[in-house]
Structure formats: C-alpha cells, structure tokens
Structure 1
Amino acid sequence: MDRAQWAAITAVVLALLFAAAAAVATAGDGGRDTGPHAPATDSADAGFARDMSDHHQQAVEMSFVVRERTTDEEVRRLAYDIANTQANQRGMMQGWLEMWGLPKVSMDQKPMEWMGMPVDDPEGRMPGMASRAEMERLRGASGRQAEVLYLQLMTEHHKGGVHMAEGCVRQCEPGVERDLAQGMVTAQQSEIGLMADLLKARGAAPRR
C-alpha cells in the first residue's frame, strides 16, 4: 500500500472515529447542552469550532474545484479524501455549536481571537487560507498548472489548519473536540508530506 493510500485511510478512519465519539457524547447529553457544562461563546472550544468550520469550508471548495480542472487520478483522489474528511468534520463542529446553543457566526469576536491572535486581514483570512485572487487563479487553471497550484495552496492551508488545531489541543477542554483537533494535526501533517511528494513528481515544490 503506497503513501497516498495510507494518508487517505488515516484521514477517513480518524473522521469516522471522532464522528462516532461525538454521536455518543451528544446522545449521552440528551441533545442540546445549554447547561453549566456547555462552553461559553468566547471559549476556545466555541472559537475553534467556528473558525475551523470556516477554514474547512475553503478546503472543501478548493478540492471540488481541482477535481473539475484535472484528470490526474492521484490529485483527484487526494482532493476527494480531503473534501470528504473535512466536510464530515465541519458537520461535527457545526453540530456541537448547535448542541451547545451557541451561534455559528460570532459578530463580537474576530477569527482566532480565542487563541490570543485575532486575525487582522482585509479579507478576514485565517493563516493558510487562500485569497480571492488565488481562488480565481485555481478556477482558471487546468491540467498540471491546476494540480501544482492546488497542492501548493492546500499545503499552506493545512499548515494553517495544523497551527489552529494545535491551539485547540492546548486550550480546549478535554473531550471529543480536543481529540478531534489532535487527529487533525496527525492527518494533515501526513497529507503535507504526501503533497510534497506529489509536487516533487511534478517538478515543483511548496511555496514556502
């Protein structure tokens, strides 16, 4: 079994395990948890769930775009795995916010304020997120150009995601959300290595 298959299997298995853990936790709490054990809206737990949901949404979008812009099976398979895993994880985090009775969008806090490093970007981008111009370039590219651009953008996206997930590992309360964050760190670091190999095979490298 090659590295691509191992990375894909690791990501999917982690997503399924944490989805099952979240379902058990939700069932055990009887649904919505707005009591004293629900995190505050300005907590690390709530901030991570909101911010990583937005971060994941762009990864899903990029992955669907590149699948339409190339016929290369390696890149298309990786993009599918990323889109599937991150869409599932996003659904879990949105579900937790619903269960906690917390808003899925906070107008009172900047992204990553829960980490003590609020985003001050004109587009509101968190670390690793592609700009509008970069997304337009990806939509206009095709073939090898689209593959390289996607792998470079997603490498940066994963690095930003790992940074945020590590913040949750440090600051979130013990439980399924912190476990999910640790799983994200492990899976995305593995995919960063895989994308470096795919870029090298195409005569390219990560941008930084």
Structure 2
Amino acid sequence: MTSAASRGPRSLVWAGAVVFIVAVGLVLLMVLRPSAAEVPGAPTESSADVGFARDMSVHHQQAVEMSFIVRDRTKDEDVRRLAYDIINTQANQRGMMLGWLETWGRPRSSERPPMEWMGHTVVPSDGSLMPGMATDTQLDRLRTADGRDADVLFLRLMSVHHRAGAEMAQAAAGSAGTDEIRGLAAGMVPAQKSEISLMADMLKARGARP
C-alpha cells in the first residue's frame, strides 16, 4: 500500500508535468496561429478598410459618450430620443467594425496616425483625435451644462461630429476594398446627413444657431 508520504512527491511531479504541457500548448498556439496576412481576403494594414474601421470606431465611441452625457442632463424628450438613437446605432456599428478587425486579424488600435488612410495629417489637440471630435474642454462643458444649455451644446457638437463622420464615410465608401466597409460607409453618409438636418431644425426651434 502506497503511503501518503510517497504520494506527495509523486503528485507534485504530475502537477508539474501538467503545467509544463499546458505551457507548451499555449506557446504552440501563439506560434502556429495564422497571421493577418494568412487570413483569406484580409485587407492590408495600410488599407482604407482597416484605417476606416479603426478611426470610425473611435469617432463613434465619442458620439456614444456625448449621447449618454446629454441623456442624463436633459429634460427635452426630443433631445433624449435623438441621444438614444445615436447610442443604439453607433454602438452597433462600432461593434461591427471591431468585429471585422478581429476577423481580419488586425488589432483594434495602432500607432499609425489617425486619418492616414485618407492621406490626411491630423495633429490631436486637447483630446480631439480627429476632425469633428469634441475636445476635452468641450466635453467638460457638456458634463456640467443643464437644461437648454446642455441641449444646444450637444446639438452643436454632434452636428460638427456628424459632418466630419459623413466625410470620412464618403471617402471609405469610394476607396475601401471590402463589401463590408463599402456597404456600411455608404449607408452612414445619408444617415448622418439626415441627422445633421434634423439637428439644425432642433437648434432653430430652440432659438439657437447651428
């Protein structure tokens, strides 16, 4: 009969072997995992598809953030309804773009400059990473505004945000190589232009200029 004392060292040996096997398996997975270049049909790192998916995901994330901020600071049902629409639409589109990046084997973020795929040189300023994005100072103002002031500021910031987003989408619709990006970008253009027109009317109805 095997004693408890003899079982102890043997158990440690088996445990060590299991840990070693798992570690080797993880290393092999990392080594053998197909690279992005080996993913059939994957767009290149410098493509409009990858650049647009990354940049528009960041752009959309800020639109969602601003919409959440005003949703909690307004009593205007029309503004709250618009905020909900933007949250739902752009969060969903952002999820699609991040999913495509993963499918293509491309990281969600990169050290490449924003808008490089459009041939633009962008210098981030006060937290604004791309054209149309609100600065940190403007976001702080939105977080502290109330009532009509919050509504007007949100509508103005989002109009600028949408205008730049529509221009980016227009560029991607014409230069992307994948059906996914061309289709999504082409649909964004009229949708965002429609909301820009809606927000102009909402500002006018509240006695404010765009």
**What is the CA distance between 1:124 and its match in structure 2?**
5.2
State whether structure 2 residue 102 is matched by structure 1 residue 98.
yes
Task: Return the alpha-carbon distance in structure 2 between the equivalents of residues 124 and 72 of structure 1.
Answer: 27
Q: Structure 1 length as normaliser, TM-score?
A: 0.81
Q: CA RMSD in A?
A: 1.4
| Unaligned ranges ≥5, structure 1 | 1-31
| Partner residue, 1:117 | 120
SS of the equivalent of 1:192 reads: helix
State whether structure 2 residue 84 is matched by structure 1 residue 80.
yes
CA contact (8 A) 1:158 1:189 kept: yes
| Partner residue, 2:188 | 184
CA contact (8 A) 1:75 1:147 kept: yes
Task: Return the alpha-carbon distance in structure 2 between the equivalents of residues 78 and 137 of structure 1.
Answer: 20
Task: Return the alpha-carbon distance in structure 1 between the equivalents of residues 123 and 207 of structure 2.
Answer: 35
User: How do residues 126-165 of structure 1 correspond to structure 2 at under 5 angstroms?
Assistant: 126-165=130-169
Q: Structure 2 length as normaliser, TM-score?
A: 0.80
SS of the equivalent of 1:69 reads: coil
1:168–1:100 Cα change, 3 Å: same
Task: Return the alpha-carbon distance in structure 1 between the equivalents of residues 204 and 190 of structure 2.
Answer: 22
**Letter aligned with residue 165 of structure 2:** G
**What is the CA distance between 1:71 and its match in structure 2?**
1.1
1:166–1:94 Cα change, 3 Å: same
Task: Return the alpha-carbon distance in structure 1 between the equivalents of residues 176 and 121 of structure 2.
Answer: 17
Task: Return the alpha-carbon distance in structure 2 between the equivalents of residues 200 and 133 of structure 1.
Answer: 25
**How many matched pairs?**
174
Task: Return the alpha-carbon distance in structure 2 between the equivalents of residues 62 and 115 of structure 1.
Answer: 25
- Per-residue CA deviation, residues 21-44 of structure 1 (Å, 9 max, x unaligned), is xxxxxxxxxxx9942410011110
Larger Rg: 2
SS of the equivalent of 1:65 reads: helix
| Partner residue, 2:172 | 168
SS of the equivalent of 2:123 reads: coil
Runs of 4+ deviating beyond 6 Å: none
Asked which structure has the greater RCO (Cα within 8 Å, sep 6+), the reply is: 1
CA contact (8 A) 1:127 1:160 kept: yes
1:133–1:124 Cα change, 3 Å: closer
CA contact (8 A) 2:128 2:136 kept: no
| Unaligned ranges ≥5, structure 2 | 1-35
Task: Return the alpha-carbon distance in structure 2 between the equivalents of residues 118 and 171 of structure 1.
Answer: 18
